[in-house]
Amino acid sequence: MHVKPDNPLIIQGDGKVLLETRHPRYEKARDFLGRFAELERSPELLHTYRITPLSLWNAASSGMSNGEIIEGLRELSKFDIPPDVRKTIEETIERYGLVKMVPHPNGGHELIRLEFASGYVAKLISKSPTLREFLIEDGRRHWAITQGHRGIFKQRALQDGWPIEDLAGFRPGEHLDVNLRTTMRGNGRPFAVREYQREAAERWYQKGKPSGGCGVVVLACGAGKTIVGMTAMSLVNTKTLILATNQASVSQWIREIVDKTELTEEQVGGYSGAEKRICPVTVATYQILTWRRSRNDDFAHLHLFEDQDWGLIIYDEVHLLPAPVFGATASLQGRRRLGLTATLVREDGREGDVFSLVGPKRYDLPWQSLTRQGFIAETTCHEVRVPFHNGDEARYENAREQQKFRLASSNPAKINVIKSLVKRHCEDHILVIGTYVDQLHQLARVLRAPLITGKTPHREREVLFGKFRRGEIKLLIVSKVANFSIDLPDANIAIQVSGTFGSRQEEAQRLGRILRPKKKAARFYTVVTADTKEQVFAMKRQLFLTEQGYRYHIEEAGR
């Protein structure tokens, strides 16, 4: 019997793994578990992970074997791995690739052949009610599907428990030479791709093998995912469509591409509400692609996917893919696809669709590893708990359940706490970030600071962001527009005054605003109303960052 009480893990029979956070081998165990398990709960002393089929299939797609997982668990566990858990790991990992998509041997472009690990697997697939409708008899002993069903078949198969390895290959797209510069065009400074950025792009590409060219790269905010995208472009040298979250992100992608590649401004265009310029490299917003005049009308711009001979599609912040783009992506399986994100967490539970339609996770680097190497800032996280004042607690207790989170988030007592934090960090570059616009307007008046919301014109946003970058203003209040792809390298203090329920990915994105390396210390404050639903949701929001190694220091304000 395996008994090592000095080890940090306890593996339960239901697939949960408990990790002691104060154990000397905590960091090693955390980084190992992060490759094939998901963090569920993160109280101070004992974190709970769960081994899931999707987390195991992502591990398998990145080359992790069941033997590596089982041996690693044995090395770190206090007790034997429960037999059911061991069996689940072995069987789940082995399911990846039991069904493969391969080019049709007759060289046709309309059909894709399916290869099965055994006749028994072929029989199970052929009798599946959700998959049978897509199957075409291909001679006496084979099955095939049409090219048009490539995406939806993978999507349905994953839901049925069959993670398909797609080796059917890709259309090359219209050729485009993409060469990275050795000096930046804007300032002439040297430019070089970091080792981990190149490794991420190369793991995605896999030297052009049929198994490469699709999948997701997971890197911390501020770690240079844009450069990974450009490196991928230089590997495939083809006409490229990039999808981004908003106009600011579009502008940032265009600036970076023109600055760090030999492509000219004429070769890189934006397709959004502000402009619609289709170029060999086109950066579009998700919003424009999902725009329609009314609920009953078609999506007016989804044709962009098919109108050009794209060889590569890059999905920035892939965890935010809206449902219509998922639908379009299902028909785009003949093109290479790269997803970039800081976290694969989706609050709608559609991580499986990202896996099947964009591709499996190809590369993931723990945030703390990047911090140790100096590529992202070392950051301290604080949760500041604020009580109600002046009868607001009674109003909260008497409110309907659906109103309580909003009342707690908008607690007026937060104003003085935020004023105090701003005063404490008056020499720093501060972002105050929130969800509720009326609350942010009040803060803007009290703090006498500029405010950027979704209604702020793009030109005005760029002016304010520019002043912040140049140090002309040191305090900026921003709504949810700050969740994504805003390049403010000097920001070192983020104060989160309200958030979107238990959104882990929003917590990660907001921390990401201050992760660029800098001389000043970085601090992330979350101000919550104590003993309310907001505090409960705050604990859920912190899960992802806790998995990455961040600890939240609790402060009690006004008690």
Q: What does the DSSP 8-state code read for residue 217? A: E
Q: What does the DSSP 8-state code read for residue 513? A: G
**Among candidate residues 43, 11, 44, the one with its CA nearest the CA of residue 29:** 11
Q: What are the Cα distances from residue 479, in Å, to 219, 241, 508? A: 24, 28, 15
Does residue 1 carry a pLDDT above 70? no
Q: What are the Cα distances from residue 411, in Å, to 146, 246, 392, 408? A: 56, 30, 8, 5
CA Rg value for the chain: 25
For the whole model, what pTM was predicted? 0.87
CB 230 within 8 A of CB 262: no
Does residue 305 carry a pLDDT above 80? yes
* Sign of the dihedral defined by the CA atoms of residues 79, 82, 86, 92, in that order: negative
Give the largest Cα separation in the chain, rounded.
79
- Strand pairing category for 522-529 and 379-386: parallel
3-state secondary structure of 389: coil
**Among candidate residues 160, 161, 157, 158, the one with its CA nearest the CA of residue 143:** 157
For 371-416, the pLDDT digits (tens) are: 888 998 889 999 999 999 988 999 999 999 889 999 999 999 999 9
CA 323, chain centre distance (Å):
16
Tokens 């037999």, residue located: 83
Q: What are the Cα distances from residue 281, in Å, to 177, 322, 428, 435? A: 11, 22, 38, 33
Whole-number pLDDT of residue 559: 57
In a 13 Å sphere around the CA of 381, the CA atoms on its Cβ side amount to 21
**Among candidate residues 216, 212, 105, the one with its CA nearest the CA of residue 165:** 212
Q: What are phi and psi of 553, to 5 degrees?
A: -90, 130
Q: What does the DSSP 8-state code read for residue 135? A: -
Q: 137 has which bridge partners?
A: 143
For 141-195, the pLDDT digits (tens) are: 889 999 989 999 999 999 999 999 999 999 999 999 999 999 999 888 999 999 9
- Rounded Cα distance between 243 and 249, Å, is 9
How large is the average pLDDT for residues 320-348? 85
Does residue 2 carry a pLDDT above 70? no
Whole-number pLDDT of residue 359: 92
- pLDDT, mean over the chain: 90
CB 374 within 8 A of CB 519: no
Q: What are phi and psi of 362, to 5 degrees?
A: -100, -25
- Rounded Cα distance between 405 and 501, Å, is 8
Per-residue confidence band for 558, with pLDDT thresholds at 50, 70 and 90: low
Whole-number pLDDT of residue 108: 65
Does residue 472 carry a pLDDT above 70? yes
Domains of the chain by start residue, with CATH: 9-95 (no CATH), 99-166 (no CATH), 195-365 (3.40.50.300), 372-556 (3.40.50.300)
Q: Roughly what angle, to the nearest 10 degrees, separates helices 247-260 and 458-470? A: 60
- Rounded Cα distance between 163 and 94, Å, is 10
Whole-number pLDDT of residue 180: 97
DSSP string computed for 178-216 = --B-SB-TTT--B----HHHHHHHHHHHGGG-TT-SEEE
Residues in CB range of 277: below 8 A, 6 or more apart: 269, 270, 271
For 102-153, the pLDDT digits (tens) are: 999 886 678 999 999 999 999 999 999 999 999 999 877 889 999 989 999 9
CA 166, chain centre distance (Å):
22
Measured torsion, CA atoms of residues 90, 95, 96, 100, in degrees rounded to the nearest 10: 150
Which tokens is 130 given?
Answer: 């959700």
Does residue 221 carry a pLDDT above 80? yes
- Rounded Cα distance between 288 and 247, Å, is 10
Which tokens is 164 given?
Answer: 């398909």
Q: Where is 239: in which H helix or E strand? A: none
For 34-67, the pLDDT digits (tens) are: 889 987 776 767 888 999 999 999 899 888 999 9
- Percent of the chain scoring above 70 in pLDDT: 98
Q: What does the DSSP 8-state code read for residue 106? A: T
How many Cβ atoms are within 10 Å of 518's Cβ, its own excluded?
Answer: 14
**Among candidate residues 226, 205, 225, the one with its CA nearest the CA of residue 215:** 205
- Percent of the chain scoring above 90 in pLDDT: 62
Q: Where is 248: in which H helix or E strand? A: helix 247-260
CB 42 within 8 A of CB 75: no
- Rounded Cα distance between 173 and 308, Å, is 9
